[in-house]
Amino acid sequence: MLSHILFMNFILAGRLAREYILPPAGLPLADASGGSLLYCAGGLRVWEKQAGLLARIGNNYPQEWLQEIEALGFDIRGIKAQPVDVDQRAFIAYSDSMERSQINPVQHFARREMNFPKSLLGYQMEEPVKDFKQIHPLSPAAVDVPKPYRKAKALHICPLDFTTQSQLISVLKSASLSTISLDPAPSYMNSTLWKELRVVLQGVTIFHPSEEELRALFWGETNDLWEMAQTVCNFGCEIVVIKRGGQGQYIYDKASKRKWELPAYPSRVADPTGAGDAFCGGYLAGFLKTNDPLQAAFYGSVSASLKIEGSGPFYSSDVLPGLAQARLYALQGMAREI
């Protein structure tokens, strides 16, 4: 155990999963460690080597995976095992055109003439959330937060249920925690829940919606993404970073009212799983280094570009030394102020 780590700059909260991935290129993953939390951690690890992790797992989650995560330098005291077995399986298949599917795994394996893994028998995709305030059993709870984590400088919350995200922001918001970044869950990004979202945004520094989520929030109101970003900032957060997949990001800074467009770094796409989470991890690391909303996006973009070139949350850990810095330098000239 890394219990000797008494202080850390970063806390990351999210979900862990046992992943089955059929990527558009390369070998499949069958029962491999994954989930939003680890992809975010992988993106942060491109630039920073330590963070405290918050998550819940079933009693049947492989202990050797936790040991591997800890060996990478992460503090796992915030990962709490529940006293019951939990199905944490997640399936994703990609077509040649990057279309993503999470249903009918038998069909996808058969189409590729692959043997269906016995460990995936009985898999059912998680049902869409009907009550946005419902707490998911594997969402980390505020009571799970170890005391050393409360002295951190920066927190990122991956897509989780609304109640958990709200409680984590409320409990961890303190004088020492200068930066909170939030990646919303699609379940509450709709126009009927503006009142609730405004309460959460009061404690957020950086808001990381995808373009699809932001458009769903403003459905029927406006089609202008910059107008959406400004409106969101007016309700409390300081920076909005709109994730646009292969098209890059839009960044809006409330303080300066400046707007930038950043194209995605031109990488070879082998497996896009977790790229958005990796971006958020890299962005948080960059923001704590530079305190600059645009410069931080360069860090996030590099983390995402490295992630999509291979499978697994920590693929970027094995890239050539100096590659991340070289891409960071190359991105400096690619941003465009609007």
> Does 3 map to a domain?
no
Q: How many alpha carbons fall within 13 Å on the CB side of residue 118?
A: 0
Burial level of 331, CB count in 10 A (0-12/13-18/19+)? buried
CA 75 to chain centre: 18
Please give the angle made by the CA atoms of 210, 181 and 319, to the nearest 5 degrees.
75
> Does 91 map to a domain?
no
pLDDT at position 175: 61
> Does 118 map to a domain?
no
Q: pTM of the full predicted structure?
A: 0.95
> Does 120 map to a domain?
no
> Does 291 map to a domain?
yes
Q: Is the CB of residue 92 less than 8 Å from the CB of residue 120?
A: no
What are the b/e assignments for 176-211, b being 16+ CB within 10 Å? ebebbbbbbbbbbbeeeeeeebeebbebbbbbbbbb
> Does 104 map to a domain?
no
Q: Which two tokens stand for residue 301?
A: 């973009």
> Does 94 map to a domain?
no
pLDDT tens for the chain, residues 1 to 338: 444 556 689 999 999 999 999 998 778 999 999 999 999 999 999 999 899 999 999 999 999 999 999 999 999 999 999 999 999 999 999 988 889 999 999 999 999 999 999 999 999 888 777 777 888 999 999 888 998 898 899 999 999 999 999 999 988 887 678 899 999 999 889 888 888 888 889 889 999 999 999 999 999 889 999 999 999 999 889 999 999 999 999 999 999 999 999 999 999 999 999 999 999 999 999 999 999 999 999 999 999 999 999 999 999 877 777 999 999 999 988 999 99
> Does 65 map to a domain?
yes
For the chain, strand residue ranges (E) read 10-13, 17-22, 29-34, 52-57, 75-81, 89-94, 100-101, 154-157, 179-182, 206-207, 239-243, 249-253, 258-262, 336-337
Instruction: Supply the range of the domain harboring residue 73.
Output: 10-17+33-86+128-337
Count of structural domains within the chain = 1
Residue 277 belongs to a domain with what CATH number?
Answer: 3.40.1190.20
